[in-house]
Amino acid sequence: MISAGAIVLGAVLMVSLAWGLQHAAMNSPHLLGHTAPDLAIQQPDGQKVGIQQLRGKPVVVNFWASWCGPCVREQPVLSDAAAAHPNVAFVGAAVQDTTSGVQTFEQQHAHTYPVGPIVSGKYQDYGVVGPPVTIFIDANGVVTASFAGPLDASTLDHYLRLIAP
């Protein structure tokens, strides 16, 4: 016969496993606690935005691509969060994409924050293999967390609280 304690322990372990699988948060553990690598994007209007110039403000860097279905689905979540958190800088870094792909995407699903292809630095320095991946950087420029996969609103809020309490 199985004791009640064993059942509770099993349930706790299953819930923890399910949460961990759903929230594969630490895809770049080598970055955690370290200064964010140099990275800059160029917006469609030609203006460049660099991660280093945003120091002093929490930053969310979302690595995305125009051809990425999950990126399309998470884009409204990120845009809503950017509007709701004006004290946090959001940056969209297009990876493995073309300039025309980015422009077409922006015409159909315009971001409310700066986006564009990477013109300085490399997405690989952030441990990104493919999109979407989101990196959370505190106001001191230190990587606090990373999340691989499409974000939903509650998961994004959880990570935002780590960098902008």
pLDDT given for residue 80 in this prediction = 96
Q: CATH number of the domain that 113 lies in? A: 3.40.30.10
**Minimal CA–CA distance to 157: which of 67, 73, 85, 98?**
85
pLDDT, one tens digit for every residue, the chain (165 residues): 666 555 655 554 554 444 443 344 445 567 889 999 999 999 988 999 999 999 999 999 999 999 999 999 999 999 999 999 999 999 999 999 988 888 888 888 888 899 999 999 999 999 999 999 999 999 999 999 999 999 999 999 999 999 997
Furthest CA-CA distance within the chain: 69
Residue 124 lies in a domain: yes
Question: What is the pLDDT at residue 29?
Answer: 62
Residue 109 lies in a domain: yes
Cα(117)–Cα(43) distance, integer angstroms: 7
Whether 10 is in a domain gets the answer no
**Three-state SS at 11:** helix
Cβ(38)–Cβ(52) under 8 Å? yes
- 18 belongs to a structural domain: no
Report which of 49, 66, 36 is spatially closest to residue 146, judged by C-alpha positions: 36
Nearest Cα neighbor of 91 from 68, 69, 123, 67 is 123
pLDDT of residue 30: 76
Cis, peptide link before residue 29, omega less than 30° from 0: no
Nearest Cα to Cα of residue 123 among 44, 64, 35: 64
Closest by alpha carbon to 87, among 120, 123, 128, 56? 56
| pLDDT value at residue 19 | 40
As a whole number of angstroms, the distance between CA 94 and CA 50 comes to 14
Amino acid at 53: Q
The verdict on residue 70 lying in a domain is yes
Task: Show the tokens assigned to 129.
Answer: 């293999």
In a domain, 153, yes or no: yes
Q: How many domains does the chain have?
A: 1
CB 35 within 8 A of CB 160: no
Residue 133 lies in a domain: yes
Residue 9 lies in a domain: no
Range of the domain at 149: 24-163
